[in-house]
């Protein structure tokens, strides 16, 4: 089980509101390559992982993704906080406003609600780990897109941190895939 720590994984302090950037970043909250999907994917897949290294990796990265979800939610909140409705209308993010106000809701940037259809969890650990590698690369690409449209250093800094974490996760999943393959091969032949 989990114990909550009253801090974010990396510091976030955004003082300049930017509702359009908030809606862009929102896809990493509840979109197809977002942190909620990542967390649910790994925390569900861990139950059928065959080695202790794989169980630990999926458990711990699945947990870290929840901390990333919190970081993204914090960014969306700080970018949207107290922006007047008329300003939201002028910036064309009023459709989101009339549904949710300035709250953080798990959807992608187009308002499509989160769905578990974004993830898979199979008994085959090789299938899962290959999906996880693809997911990390897709998340990294999304952070690259977000960085290419962001200007504020207070926004870019945490986005860069999150992009680097996807790179590290990709690396660890690659190692895990090799460990699982080696274990399965040795069981088959000896």
Partner 1 sequence: MDEQTTLLEQIMAYDFALYDLQLFLNTHPSDTNALRDYKMALEQSENLRRQYQNRYGPLTARYLPNTTCWQWINDPWPWNNKEV
Q: In the range 150-179, which residues lie near Fe ion by CB under 5 A?
A: 166, 169
Shortest CB 3 distance to partner 1, Å: 8
Cβ proximity to Fe ion: between 18 and 166 the closer is: 166
Residue partners of 172: CB distance under 8 A and separation at least 6: 57, 61
Shortest CB 121 distance to Fe ion, Å: 16
Residue 16's binding partner among Fe ion, partner 1, none (Cβ under 5 to 8 angstroms by kind) is: none
**How far is Cα 26 from Cα 58, in angstroms, rounded to an integer?**
24
3-state secondary structure of 113: strand
Cβ proximity to partner 1: between 60 and 81 the closer is: 60
Residue 134 token pair: 């693809």
Angle between helices 153-189 and 125-149 (to 10 degrees): 170
Q: Which residues of this chain interact with partner 1, rule CB under 8 A?
A: 1, 3, 46-47, 52-53, 55-56, 59-60
Shortest CB 94 distance to partner 1, Å: 35
Cβ proximity to partner 1: between 29 and 42 the closer is: 42
**How far is Cα 47 from Cα 155, in angstroms, rounded to an integer?**
35
């Amino acid at each position: 089980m989990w114990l909550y720590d009253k801090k974010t994984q990396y510091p976030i302090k955004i003082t300049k509101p930017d509702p359009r950037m908030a809606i862009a970043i929102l896809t990493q909250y509840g979109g197809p390559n977002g942190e909620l999907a990542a967390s649910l994917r790994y925390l569900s897949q861990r139950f059928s992982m065959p080695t202790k290294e794989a169980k630990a990796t999926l458990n711990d990265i699945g947990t870290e993704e929840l901390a990333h979800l919190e970081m993204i939610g914090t960014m969306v909140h700080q970018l949207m906080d107290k922006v007047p409705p008329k300003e939201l209308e002028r910036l064309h993010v009023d459709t989101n406003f009339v549904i949710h106000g300035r709250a953080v809701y798990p959807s992608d940037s187009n308002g499509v609600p989160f769905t578990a259809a974004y993830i898979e969890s199979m008994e085959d650990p090789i299938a899962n780990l290959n999906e996880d590698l693809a997911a990390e690369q897709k998340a990294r690409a999304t952070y690259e897109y977000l960085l290419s449209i962001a200007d504020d250093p207070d926004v870019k800094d945490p986005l860069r941190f999150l992009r680097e974490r996807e790179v590290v996760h990709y690396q660890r999943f690659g190692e895990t895939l090799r460990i699982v393959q080696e274990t399965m091969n040795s069981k088959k032949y000896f």
